[in-house]
Amino acid sequence: MTDTTSTRTERTRVAIVGAGPAGLILSHLLAEAGIDSIVVDSRSREQIESTIRAGILEQNTADLLRRIDPATRVDTVGHRHDGIELWFGGEGHRIDFPSLVGRSVWLYPQHEVLKDLLALRLGAGQDLRFGVTVERVDDDGSGHPLVAGRNADGSPLVIDADFVVGADGSRSVVRPVVTGSSAGGYFREYPFAWFGILCEAPPSSDELIYSNSPEGFALISQRSPEVQRMYYQCDPTADPAAPSDAEVWEALQARVPGTTLNEGPIIQRDVLRFRSFVAHELRRDRVALVGDAAHTVPPTGAKGMNLAIADVVLLAEALRALLVERDERLIDGYADRALARIWKAQHFSWWMTSMLHSTPDASDFDHRRQLGELRSVVESEAGQTYLAEAYTGWPLA
């Protein structure tokens, strides 16, 4: 553990732990406000740029990326999607976003977003350090919280900041100083997971297909003209290496009856567990949490990365008021404003999840009720509009 008394202390205005989408965009918005920051991440740049995660950007997220980064590839590598297909009862029901809410989403994988953001911030001279592992944050209420950790070469690091932001993901080391414990939050675990694959084959569908079938849930997504991303519901303890490729294709095809999926070599497999979490506190004194450090949503509503970025927009505004204008009102209101959106996103993610997946103890009544719920959505303009509004994203602050 780092001894903060004998180690040379570095100074910055805002210390940001984590160079994921939340930490990188926050550093950019702070720089726009003339506030310097140090961003540290325990992983290497190569690891950050190659981790496959989220893929759907809400309209406002795509607009924000275009505004802050003239070189963003969201419109060249990414693809605009004007709808999704809800698949049940052997047929698809398209939800058309532009005609319902005048907005769209963009399929642009998170690791491509991160490549753009890392190039943007490093090009702007951001103090951004890879391979630096934060061990703890100390905040004695003096207005100068300390970040303590290890540099890439193992030497100790101490940063003295005016404010510390935990953008360090779901296993946040910053969280305990805010909530009092690493687990301090509202939590729900789901009795299923997603078996995810990347495969070399052209897209099976132009838009995402969310399927509820008697066999369970499947999501047919895309990644590029040559690679598809697909998921099907599995047991949380499933071993990603266990099924043969043929068994994976059989499971997927059975969950989207009436379609024919393009099959190809499976190049990656993973099992993604489902959790919902919201930290009890998002800020204490001069330390705040954003993104997955503050909350986790199941991926069904495609909200994770978008919600992280929405937090950051609010926090950047509050930090500008605090550190430039010495106005504490926005930072005092940060948690309440962020939580209003977080709980809406939690509800949407839970709703999509529960409407589309089968639980192990589901009865025939439960399956038929789900089909009634899906019909209530697709056969009603109000139902479709709610889904379109939430999926394409509520306005940012």
Ligand X SMILES: Cc1cc2nc3c(=O)[nH]c(=O)nc-3n(C[C@H](O)[C@H](O)[C@H](O)COP(=O)(O)OP(=O)(O)OC[C@H]3O[C@@H](n4cnc5c(N)ncnc54)[C@H](O)[C@@H]3O)c2cc1C
User: Which residues are marked as active site?
Assistant: 81, 210, 299, 303, 391
Query: In whole angstroms, what is the distance from residue 54 CA to residue 374 CA?
Result: 25
Residues in contact with ligand X, counted by CB under 6 A, come to a total of 31
Could you tell me the smallest distance in angstroms from the CB atom of residue 210 to ligand X? 12
Could you tell me the smallest distance in angstroms from the CB atom of residue 150 to ligand X? 9
**Cβ distance to ligand X smaller for residue 48 or 248:** 48
In the numeric block, which tokens belong to residue 160?
């003295």
313 binds ligand X (CB under 6 A): no
**Cβ distance to ligand X smaller for residue 168 or 207:** 168
Q: Name the pairing type of β-strands 79-81 and 105-107.
A: antiparallel
Reference 104, options 160, 147, 60; nearest CA is 60
**Cβ distance to ligand X smaller for residue 134 or 199:** 134
The residue from 10, 36, 43, 152 that contacts ligand X (CB under 6 A) is 43
Say which DSSP state 133 is in.
Answer: E
Reference 262, options 297, 304, 223; nearest CA is 223
In the numeric block, which tokens belong to residue 255?
């969950």
41 binds ligand X (CB under 6 A): yes
**Cβ distance to ligand X smaller for residue 37 or 42:** 42
**Cβ distance to ligand X smaller for residue 303 or 368:** 303
The residue from 30, 105, 134, 388 that contacts ligand X (CB under 6 A) is 134
> What residues contact 203, with CB distance under 8 A and at least 6 apart?
222, 225, 228, 262
Span interacting with ligand X, options 40-48, 78-86, 180-188, 388-396, rule CB under 6 A? 40-48
**Cβ distance to ligand X smaller for residue 166 or 216:** 166
Residue showing tokens 């139902």: 383
304 binds ligand X (CB under 6 A): yes
Residues 257-276 that bind ligand X (CB under 6 A): 272
Backbone angles phi and psi of 389, in degrees to 5: -65, -45
214: left (phi over 0), alpha (psi -120 to 50) or beta: alpha
Query: In whole angstroms, what is the distance from residue 21 CA to residue 25 CA?
Result: 6
Amino acid at 91: E
The residue from 37, 42, 213, 392 that contacts ligand X (CB under 6 A) is 42
117 binds ligand X (CB under 6 A): no
CA angle 337, 339, 344 (to 5 degrees): 110
Residues 181-200 that bind ligand X (CB under 6 A): none
207 binds ligand X (CB under 6 A): no
For residues 173 and 41, the answer to whether their CB atoms sit within 8 Å is no
Binding site for ligand X (CB under 6 A): 17-23, 40-43, 48, 53-55, 110, 133-134, 167-169, 173, 272, 291-292, 299, 302-305, 308
